Amino acid sequence: MNQDIRTFPAGAASGVVSVERNRVLRNTYWLLALSMVPTVLGAWIGVSTGIASALTPGVGLVVFLAGAFGFMYAIEKTKNSAAGVPMLLAFTFFMGVMLSRLVGTVLGMTNGASLIMTAFAGTGAVFLGMAALSSVIKRDLSAMGKFLFIGAILVLVAGIANVFIQSGALMITLSVLVIGIFSAFILYDLKRVRDGQETNYISATLGVYLSVYNVFQALLMLLGIGGGRDE
């Protein structure tokens, strides 16, 4: 019998919505976990070949921005097709290659491997904490998005400027701000999925991945500056 969902009992309709939200959230977590594989592979290839380190800071910045925004545009265009997931995984491989310059620098320190593991563990703790918060916070966090976006743009502009300024103090300040802003972004993005405001798991994964990537990079930078020991 054909029946419009508006004629379902309230409990049944709510159950259908809840199942769909849980499906999107579950797929987001799975795809996020899968995206770590090409990221690690890209970082390993980047360190092994020195491809990212061979670029000058200015050229590296142009390649990173052009590649990142190009991939993000392509992912949004293909998110509802079969090409969406491969495009996202290709993007995470590219991001891994771009991360290899920092990873290689830290690995050059006597305690480099332990610093990378510490940054990884710290990022995992941040993600799990934000994921737990997203499941218990009841209020709508939509208004938080515009402030986080403005903050992200400001640190991006300051980060680009610091490529040429090369200020250690500004780098530390920006790293702390990045950790705070993108930790909040993880909470915001996961809450949007839980509230049904984001219904595409590829878009959701892209947002969370970028936040996790930035938190890890900022943590590793801070650890490399503050706790690194040169060989």
Q: Would you state the pLDDT for residue 221?
A: 93
CA separation (Å) from 61 to 8, 33, 170?
54, 27, 17
Alpha helices in the chain (DSSP H): 10-49, 57-78, 84-107, 112-136, 144-165, 168-194, 201-227
Q: Position 172: which residue type? A: I
Check: CB of residue 129 under 8 Å from CB of residue 135: no
Residue 224 and residue 208: Cα distance in Å, rounded? 24
The dihedrals phi and psi of 56, each to the nearest 5 degrees, come to -70, 160
Q: Quote the Cα angle for 20-21-26, to 5°.
A: 100
State the pLDDT at residue 229: 57
C-alpha 70/C-alpha 83 separation (Å) is 15
User: How much is the pLDDT for 165?
Assistant: 85
Would you give the DSSP letter of residue 230? B
**DSSP bridge pairs for 121:** none
**DSSP 8-class letter at 196:** T
pLDDT of res. 15: 61
Q: Are 178 and 215 a contacting pair, CB within 8 Å?
A: yes
**pLDDT value of residue 1:** 45
Q: Can you say whether residue 117 is alpha, beta or left, with left for phi > 0 and alpha for psi between -120 and 50 degrees?
A: alpha
Global pTM value: 0.89
pLDDT value for 19 = 86
Q: In the chain, what are the domain boundaries?
A: 15-227
Q: What pLDDT score was predicted for residue 8?
A: 47
Q: In the block, which residue shows the tokens 């050059």?
A: 108
In the chain (231 residues long), the average pLDDT of successive 10-residue segments reads 48 66 93 96 94 86 94 95 95 96 91 93 96 91 91 92 87 94 96 92 96 96 77 50
